[in-house]
Structure 1
Amino acid sequence: MTLKKATLLIIIILLIDQISKFYIKTHFALHDRIEVFSWFQILFVENDGMAWGTKLSDFISGISDRTAKLALTIFRIVAVIGIGYWLVTSARRKSPNILIVAIALIFAGALGNIIDSVFYGILFDDSYSQVATFIPKQGYDTLFHGKVVDMLHFPIWQGFLPQWIPIIGGDYFTFFEPVFNVADMAISSGIGMLIVFNKKAFHQEELEETSKSV
């Protein structure tokens, strides 16, 4: 795959991701939901931290949530620059298509969530008990302190677990509980491709390294 095609893929994913987030932000109040099917809902939540709703401050004592949020956003920006460099290098080396597609998916997803974290705090006002306004007089937070918009929820099964299951037996359980977005799907798909097709993705690089050492 050429770099031009990879860039087109990234643009398409970013457009779908940001359009869906913009629609949710400007049509839903926080925690509003629409049941599409019994196993699929559109549920508007905002993620202020890392994956699964955790925060950097949960792991590092003595650091405030706002400082942790800023540090996490800066780390994401540095990481996406590194992923972009990896993508350009792989495309120029004519690496396997599976590798280039996977990197492009991860890059697009990471960049999509970075846009939320960096800009959404000043582009929208808050969504508590109201539908947010785009470009208000005052946003809900400052630059680099935006929240990531999530909306895809798949509660495929809900119910009480059997009592015989250790520790969590008898608890109410939902599968699949996390709420995510298109960017998250792109990142997960890219990582999944690298894991499942690891040998195919990196076979050419291994051959090149072997030929150089001979």
Structure 2
Amino acid sequence: MKAAYTKPFIVAAIIIIIDQVIKTWVRTHMNINEDIPIFGDRGMLHYTENNGMAFGWELGGVGGKLALTIFRIIAVAGIGYGVVYLIKHKYHRGLVMNVALIFAGAVGNIIDSTFYGIIYQNEPLFQGRVVDMFYFPIIKGHYPDWFPFWKGEYFEFFQPVFNFADAAISVGVIAILIWQKRYFKQETVEESNLNSEVVEE
């Protein structure tokens, strides 16, 4: 049982460390909006900072930023509790590990929001900006003239810039969606057996 508790959190700790190492390197070696090609113009490091939520969404002003960060902290605490709950109730190990990935990614970005304002930006606690750097515009072009709404307009796929923590969250969420039947099969069977026993009594 001890190993069951420690392994997911060890993996989470490793992800958080890698995330922070990458972000620190980017902050200390790159300028805002600077690019370092990895796969030519189809994959690169692009240093940018996110003031709010994913895809640049924001809550206005200092109060909005504070509310967003506090919400994130509460959400992270809930996810951490969820990992412990899943382990304690012996859920599928894959489910536990994927929730741990989500937890690690959330913590990685919380560190930015909570402390980076003080460390790097001369701003108060909880006012930091999240560092993003991975940019993979694999497909570039223009919508054809017959395409509705956006005909002739320029497009890129994949356009959002993200970080290692975001990647961990995405992997965890996608894996749960893909393998949800496997992860929850045992619990469904146990509930069916329990309902059968109640009916027989």
TM (normalized to structure 1)? Answer: 0.86
Partner of 2:162: 180
- Hey, which of these two has a bigger chunk of helix by percent? 2
Displacement after TM superposition at 1:212 (Å): 4.5
Unaligned runs of 5+ in 2: none
2:114 to 111, 115, 118: 118
Query: Helix, strand or coil for the counterpart of 1:2?
Result: helix
Deviations 1:53-84 (A, max 9, x none): 1113xxxxxxx422111111111111111111
Bigger relative CO (Cα 8 Å, ≥ 6 apart): 1
Partner of 1:31: 33
- Tell me the distance in 1 between the aligned counterparts of 2:65 and 2:105: 19
2:104 to 96, 103, 108: 108
- Tell me the distance in 1 between the aligned counterparts of 2:56 and 2:193: 45
Partner of 2:127: 145
- Tell me the distance in 1 between the aligned counterparts of 2:57 and 2:64: 11
Cα RMSD of the aligned pairs, angstroms, is: 1.4
- Tell me the distance in 1 between the aligned counterparts of 2:24 and 2:57: 24
Partner of 1:49: 52
Letter in 2 for 1:67: G
- Tell me the distance in 1 between the aligned counterparts of 2:126 and 2:67: 9
| Percent identity between the two aligned chains | 46
Query: Helix, strand or coil for the counterpart of 2:134?
Result: strand
Unaligned runs of 5+ in 1: 57-63, 126-138
Q: How many residue pairs were aligned?
A: 193
Partner of 2:14: 12
Partners of 1:98 and 1:200 within 8 A in 2: no
Query: Helix, strand or coil for the counterpart of 2:127?
Result: coil
